[in-house]
Amino acid sequence: MTNWKNDAYAMASPWLCADPCAEALEWYKDLFGATERVRLAMPNGKIVHAELLIGDSVLIFCDELPEAGMRSPAAVGGSPVSVSVQVPDTDALFARAIQTGAIPIHLPMDMFYGARVAGFTDPYGHNWQLVTRTEDVKPEEMEARMTQAFGG
């Protein structure tokens, strides 16, 4: 009997529409050192399903497929979603992202919850947060730091 869950995937994986998808896949592979696992294209070349492995996470991608409800951020006025990726060096990867066409959302900064974080929008309209853990912070301390940071 087939298990209901495919163990090649986490319980939830983001599915991002990128236009053009093939170009975006190369950008993500270069920036994140991602590995391409699958690429399925229709005869017209449109990618209907591609998978990138970033570290231990699978992200799924496709070209715009409006008939299937898949629209790129550009087609809907931007993305309200941000993908968070843990990286060894937020500053270095952020600089590389900007050098290769990303637009900064916020510069690298140390956050009250014990991480160095930066945000950018990639050339395909998706938002990313780069996170490097800098210290272990207990929930009580995190709450106290948050209150102090936001003047509460």
Q: Are residues 85 and 73 in the same domain?
A: no
**How would you class 90 by CB atoms within 10 Å of its CB: exposed for 0-12, middle for 13-18, buried for 19 or more?**
buried
Which pLDDT tens digit goes with each residue over 63-88? 999 999 999 999 999 999 999 999 99
Q: Are residues 84 and 74 in the same domain?
A: no
Whole-number Cα distances in Å, 50 to 9, 21, 109, 129: 13, 9, 33, 22
Region for residue 45 given its phi and psi (left: phi exceeds 0; alpha: psi -120 to 50; beta: otherwise): left
Q: pTM of the entire structure?
A: 0.93
Q: Are residues 119 and 129 in the same domain?
A: yes
Q: Are residues 102 and 132 in the same domain?
A: yes
Residue 27 structural domain = 1-78
Q: Are residues 1 and 74 in the same domain?
A: yes
Q: Are residues 70 and 91 in the same domain?
A: no
Domain termination residue (choose one: 61, 78, 95): 78
Q: How far apart are the first and last CA of the chain?
A: 55
Q: Are residues 106 and 134 in the same domain?
A: yes
Which pLDDT tens digit goes with each residue over 102-118? 999 999 999 999 999 99
Residues 6 or more apart whose CB falls under 8 angstroms from that of 96 comprise 31
Which H/E stretch holds residue 113? none
Q: Are residues 40 and 103 in the same domain?
A: no
